[in-house]
Amino acid sequence: MNQFQVLILALIFVCQTHPTLARSHRDALARSCLDYFKKGYQTSGYYQIKSDGAGNSFQTVFCDMESEPGSAWTLVESFALKNKAMPAFSKRPLKINAPVLPKTPNWNLYRMSLSQMNDLKKQSTHWRVTCDFQAKPVHIYRDYAVARFKNFDVVTFEGSNVCKLMKYINVRGHQCAECTASWFAYVNRENALHIDGPSTGCQFTPGGGAVSSEDNFGYYLDTNKNFRCTSSPDATTNFWFGGYF
């Protein structure tokens, strides 16, 4: 076998095994992971979707099609606790354009641009936040929140201790469904989206086992090792847009 044949075989191997390259050709019309799911794809991984819904520009995204049966999710932000001090993860609500490696989805340092999020929101009915999703096995519903965009638009939200209707929420094992939870996000005060664990102003009251002023799902000024997103420096917080089908 000559060097040219070796090179060709190597390229074929890379294209078949590299998640981004292997799936980039699948559907030129897909604008979200939910689009792929509706067409029969059921494997989580990296896919290509049409960027901003126009032209011939595409972006790589990470799709979860396996953790929750009958649903598909596109990763829009993910960061490790050790990177919590970065302004995009500590000070910028989602309504602020603060992209971090927006074309390179990963678990430790990633946030889409606001235009990417807004276009993806048009294709989505729900948003969710998970903890340490990349860990195996995935305990998806422990330290988890999901809401309908029509009840709680996480992209436009700004407020202090605002009760928002959740489809389901779990913090350190405290859980409720179709209930309100208290959320915070400030532009002027530079606070990223989060819940204060001990807050009891809404129906969801995860006070038992909380630390003083505990932050959940973001901001992370005060953390609790019993909350999976903040259990270690490498633990991650993951925001997704998608829906059920």
For 116-170, the DSSP string reads HHHHHHHT-SEEEEEESTTSSS--TTSSEEEEETTT--TTT--EEEEEEEEEEEE
**Cβ(47)–Cβ(32) below 8 Å:** no
pLDDT at 46: 96
Integer Cα distance of 44 and 52 in angstroms: 22
pLDDT averaged over every residue in the chain: 88
Q: What is the pLDDT of residue 25?
A: 37
Kindly give the pairing relationship between strand 71-80 and strand 58-64: antiparallel
User: Is the pLDDT score of 10 beyond 50?
Assistant: no
Question: 142-188: per-residue pLDDT in tens?
Answer: 999 999 999 999 999 999 999 999 999 999 999 999 999 999 999 98
22-67 pLDDT, tens digit per residue, is 444 357 789 999 999 999 999 999 999 987 645 568 899 999 999 9
pTM of this structure: 0.88
pLDDT value of position 197: 74
**Residue 136: pLDDT band with limits 50, 70, 90:** confident
- pLDDT tens profile 97-120: 999 999 999 999 999 999 999 999
Average pLDDT over residues 189-196: 91
pLDDT confidence tier of residue 198, bands split at 50, 70 and 90: confident
- The confidence score (pLDDT) of residue 236 equals 98
Q: Where are the domains of the chain?
A: 29-244
